[in-house]
């Protein structure tokens, strides 16, 4: 179903699975209500393109990142939009995160947990980092991270990757860490029950999808194709991903469309879209309503 005839990037679902937020036409932050079909533009600004906007844990606010400098992307500001009032507020990024040698960090994403904690991530300057902070901006912890962190849907835990250490599980309350995969990984995504993580690991210069058991840290390769952007189905039975092919001219990976495979690795993969350039699939977190 075509839900919007606009240039749309980086979709995120609301916690109840009934709304989508996305970046449209490179400058509009939008929220689409799937039941009513109403597609609201909640903010128009110079938005940072390579970001994934997100909902707060209670679904009442949408986060986006606004570029405030020229060239764009150097000094960025994370903002939140209250969906009930339309009020735009600066996300209270704490000073400890917003300064690096006296220069504000370019924020790339902000994600909210169900407890009200937020995590912000910056891709630059080096080293990239994440910081967890509370509702008033107080810093709870910070870590070096070379990939966007992901909240466990069932616990106050984050998974992220850091150079030289690998894929890390972080307990936010205690600050304790555990290495899940010393080889690292990108685009980690939790299973709905919080017991497994799908992520992208590069072997012999080829990215593909692995699934890791959090309790044992045992991982298995799921997709035989070069692949990226894994996403779990609501019941945790399937993982969809973007199938890739290498471009001999540019050295980049290009999309061959979307496929999905059973999360336990059984059976064969299923084609979702043909070779149409579709990318970055995101399953709804809950089954659709009536």
Sketch the domain layout of the chain as residue ranges. 1-91, 185-290
pLDDT at 61 > cutoff 90: no
Give the architecture-level CATH label for domain 185-290: 6 Propeller (2.120)
| pLDDT reported for residue 72 | 45
pLDDT at 125 > cutoff 70: no
Look at 35-39, 98-102, 264-268 and tell me which has the smallest mean pLDDT: 98-102
| pLDDT reported for residue 169 | 97
Q: In what order do the strands lie in the sheet with 238-246?
A: 227-232, 238-246, 253-262, 270-271
Mean of the per-residue pLDDT values of the chain: 82
| pLDDT reported for residue 102 | 41
| pLDDT reported for residue 181 | 97
Q: Does domain 1-91 have CATH number 2.40.10?
A: yes
**Contact 223/261 with Cβ under 8 angstroms?**
yes
Question: What does the alpha-carbon distance between residue 138 and residue 72 come to, in Å, rounded to a whole number?
Answer: 28
Question: What are the tens digits of pLDDT across the range 45-54?
Answer: 767 666 778 8
Per-residue b or e along 87-100, where b marks 16 or more CB atoms closer than 10 Å to that residue's CB: eeeebebbeebbeb
| pLDDT reported for residue 195 | 96
Residue that the structure tokens 């990215």 belong to: 207
| pLDDT reported for residue 124 | 59
Sequence-distant (6+) residues with CB within 8 A of 14 are 20, 21, 55, 59
Element (H, E) at 228: strand 227-232
Average pLDDT over residues 14-41: 88
Look at 156-170, 216-230, 248-262 and tell me which has the smallest mean pLDDT: 248-262
Question: What are the tens digits of pLDDT across the range 64-122?
Answer: 877 765 554 445 667 788 899 988 877 655 555 554 444 445 566 777 777 777 777 77
């Amino acid at each position: 179903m075509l839900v919007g005839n606009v240039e749309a990037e980086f979709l995120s679902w609301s916690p109840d699975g009934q709304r989508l937020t996305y970046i449209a036409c490179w400058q509009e932050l939008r929220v689409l209500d799937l039941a009513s079909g109403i597609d609201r533009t909640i903010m128009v600004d110079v938005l940072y393109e390579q970001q994934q906007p997100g909902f707060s844990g209670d679904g009442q606010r949408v986060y986006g990142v606004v570029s405030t400098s020229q060239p764009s992307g150097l000094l960025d500001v994370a903002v939140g939009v209250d969906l009930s009032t339309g009020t735009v507020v600066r996300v209270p990024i704490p000073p400890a995160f917003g300064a690096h040698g006296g220069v504000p960090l370019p924020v790339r994403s902000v994600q909210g947990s169900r407890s009200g904690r937020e995590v912000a991530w910056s891709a630059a300057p080096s080293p990239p980092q994440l910081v967890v902070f509370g509702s008033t901006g107080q810093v709870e912890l910070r870590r070096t991270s070379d990939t966007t962190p992901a909240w466990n849907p069932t616990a106050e835990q984050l998974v992220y990757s850091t150079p030289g250490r690998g894929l890390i599980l972080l307990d936010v309350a205690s600050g304790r860490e555990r290495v899940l995969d010393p080889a690292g990984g990108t685009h980690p995504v939790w299973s709905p029950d919080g017991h497994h993580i799908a992520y992208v690991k590069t072997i012999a210069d080829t990215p593909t999808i692995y699934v890791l058991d959090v309790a044992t840290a045992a991982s298995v390769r799921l997709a035989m194709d070069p692949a990226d952007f894994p996403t779990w189905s609501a019941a945790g039975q399937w993982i969809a991903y973007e199938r890739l092919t290498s471009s001999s001219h540019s050295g980049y990976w290009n999309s061959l469309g979307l496929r999905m495979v059973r999360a336990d690795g059984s059976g064969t993969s299923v084609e979702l879209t043909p070779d149409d350039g579709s990318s970055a699939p995101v399953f709804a977190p809950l089954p659709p309503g009536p």
